[in-house]
Amino acid sequence: MNAKHLHVLICIFLCFLWLIAGCSLLAPGINHVATKDDTPAETDSSQQDIPAVEPLSPEEQLNESIHQMLDQLSLRQQICQLFIVTPEQLSGEEAVTQINDRLLAGLAQYPVGGIVLFSKNLVDREQCAGLIADIQKNANLKLFIAVDEEGGSVARLGNCPAMEVTAYPPMGRLAQQGEEAVYQAYTDIGREIKALGFNMDFAPVADVNSNPNNPVIGQRAFSSDPQIVAAMVRQAVAGLHQAGVIAVAKHFPGHGDTQSDSHQGQAITYRSLEQMRNSEFLPFAAAIDAGVDMIMAGHIVVNEIEDTAPASLCPYLLQDILRQALSFQGIIITDALNMKAITSYYTSAEAAIAALNAGADILLMPQSLPEAVEGLLQAVEQGKISQEQIEAAVFRILRLKLTNGILVP
């Protein structure tokens, strides 16, 4: 190859390199045609600022439902929810066995949280179930429908043959058959009363029968041994819950050592708090551990703490002992406020105000429902009771109704 040919080859090679370099330089700018897919997506800054919303837990959903219900109730309606009364307290009649205009008018004027039926309200199964169904049908908010069905002498249904439910011996005798017998008895009691429309049993008795001279407890208690009472109370609560019925342990802090009946007047216990911690409080602690829904505060004066105020009106017993020391978070209900242990010393308004300020959530059967309701309304207006206290109690009530299927969210 001569010099001329070599020169030509070198020129061709340099032109080839120039073309390659030119294409690579032009590719990013001139020769590349952008497409829609190649364009970076624009980011919506407003979407970046919105955090992901976590779904509400079942507990949060329940609380939300309760708050929505509370918001729809006036103060007066909230106050009425605090009461469980007899049909007669709404109608003004001697004995109510069926729905009527007077009962409907009373229920509309005082939309109470619950009704309790006694023997005089019972004729037979069909009548009882019909009365309960009619009351629930006409209630603004579905009601607690309660009965005292302990077995033995205090059994409104069991002692009415036309009701065709099982009659049980006194609990002091039944407990001798063992824990399984008590569990089965209260499961059956719960099923039988639930079939008629009841959703709450004012049972079991958690009192210790420690005083043989006690005129009101006796064989209604499971035993004079607090450990036995505690074991049986636990089984009774479990049995009622198995049947889907609300259980109410009574009569805190313990009626078993008194020598008088709070139905008839003041009942006093002279036992020290230390003695009660080792005896009377044990069955209530067992009930709480078993998940009892309510505890009924009795009208028992604990002499070491108060001279005259009964437990149902005593902040120390209901808050310091029951709420804090025993860690009870459920509903505190008073014993009947028309008992002489209350009416001999307090008006209906005074008793209602004192009970709520003490820590009670539900007020059972005041002597005068209108006076109690109006007294609480005035107390809120005058700052003697805060609206937050009322709402906290109603919150617990609505919660229990929702969790037991009485109300639907």
Q: Which residues are catalytic?
A: 263, 335
How far apart are alpha carbons 257 and 213 in whole angstroms? 8
How far apart are alpha carbons 280 and 274 in whole angstroms? 10
- Using CA atoms, how far residue 296 sits from 89, 159, 248, 346, in Å, is 20, 23, 6, 19
Amino acid (1-letter code) at residue 181: A
Amino acid (1-letter code) at residue 155: A
Task: Classify 51 as helix, strand or coil.
Answer: coil
How far apart are alpha carbons 143 and 115 in whole angstroms? 7
- Using CA atoms, how far residue 233 sits from 117, 144, 248, 289, 292, in Å, is 23, 22, 10, 10, 10
How far apart are alpha carbons 351 and 372 in whole angstroms? 8
Q: Which two tokens stand for residue 186?
A: 């209260």
On the 0-12 / 13-18 / 19+ scale of CB atoms within 10 A, 42 is: exposed
Beta strand 331-334 with 246-252 is: unpaired
State the residue for tokens 């009415």. Answer: 160
Q: 325 CB contacts (<8 Å, ≥6 apart)?
A: none
> Are the C-beta atoms of 88 and 94 separated by less than 8 Å?
yes
State the residue for tokens 């399984």. Answer: 180
Task: Classify 289 as helix, strand or coil.
Answer: helix
